[in-house]
Amino acid sequence: MKKCLIYIAIALTTLIAGFMGCGKKDQDVKEQQELKSVKNQQEVKCQDVYVAGVEEGIPTLWKNGVAQRLSDRDWEYGGWDNLSIFVSGDDVYVAGRLLDEHGGIQRATLWKNGVDQQLQLQLGDSHGISSVFVSDGNVYVAGKRWGGWGDDDGNTCFVTLLENGVPQRLGDEQANSVFVSGNDVYVVGNVTLWKNGAAQRLSDDGQAHSVYVSGNDVYVAGREGPWDSAVATVWKNGVPRRLGNGEARSVFVSGKDVYVAGDQNNAATLWKNGVPQRLSYDNKNPFAKAHSVYVSGNDVYVAGCTGRWKHGRYDDAILWKNGIPQRLSSDVTIAEAMSVFVK
């Protein structure tokens, strides 16, 4: 983590001037106050903002707005999964999936500091990661395998600790998010929450996209109902709070405040304690999606996209900081920001 010292130039200048014109009591008092201010200057950490997404179909990592391509092969967009990012110490992890060199079989992929880790997950053919989490040096990933498990021909979701690479089967379809708190591993997918492998059904129909644990409280963001009549919902300890029409895709808790990112009426939306704030980029492209939210201090970051939907993707990768948009992608690309982490 880089650090920058903020020096109070005005205080120094005035202090020097005070030395030159000393002799007055009030000037002496002023000098003492400003000297104390200089001595008590604080180190302010300049935080790095990491965003994972795709640009022209290629997995991309933006650090403080500067793009780094993670592969020369396409990331396989399946409609349900996102790239996921997690930063631990000096290590940056990005998880997703790639097509193989022949453009066919999909392979779960984890990049560490930009290097493909060539995972060996004992999953057979066609699998992908939708979430990565690091706790006490242990790397956890959750995702989906196509084509079943053993004698099962259906799709299955899994979670695994990369240290042993042995996946734990959780259920059908997909695992969207993993969060580790102490010795407990939480995973959400479909409309189910798993805690250490034990399943809790959250609703009869819908999708759970994100899980966050704060103290003894477990928050899940997702939707109730089918996609064409979805209701954005956040569950706290299994109890739903409906936010309105749309889809909740990410949840983050800071102190007593609960932040949820998603979309409502085709507009990227940030809910703070249930109150919506529409996020926009410009008036020409009103359609937008918010994929991920992260809170650091007083700053709220949301990663998403805006523009026209074409070729299965949006026009522009966008990072909103406190509601102000920053375009990450270039003018000629099709891009989407999917996950944000601040360190």
Same domain, 138 and 15: no
**Are the CB atoms for 279 and 289 separated by under 8 Å?**
no
- Split into its structural domains, the chain has a count of 2
- Flag whether 82 is in a domain: yes
57's CB contacts (< 8 A; 6+ apart) are 74, 75, 77, 313, 334
Same domain, 106 and 191: yes
Alpha carbon 129 to chain centroid, angstroms: 14
- Flag whether 292 is in a domain: yes
Asked if residue 218 has pLDDT above 60, the reply is yes
Same domain, 100 and 241: yes
Same domain, 278 and 316: yes
Same domain, 243 and 154: yes
- Flag whether 104 is in a domain: yes
pLDDT tens-place string over residues 117-147: 877 776 666 678 899 999 999 999 998 886 5
Same domain, 14 and 143: no
Question: pLDDT grade, residue 247 (50/70/90)?
Answer: very high
Largest separation between any pair of C-alpha atoms in the chain? 92
pLDDT tens-place string over residues 43-91: 345 899 999 999 888 899 999 999 999 988 665 554 445 799 999 999 9
Q: What is the C-alpha separation between 294 and 95, in angstroms, rounded?
A: 17
The residue segments making up the domain with residue 219 are 50-342
Asked if residue 108 has pLDDT above 80, the reply is yes
Same domain, 58 and 28: no
Same domain, 271 and 233: yes
Question: Considering the chain, what is the average pLDDT of its residues?
Answer: 82
Alpha carbon 159 to chain centroid, angstroms: 18
Confidence (pLDDT) at 118: 76
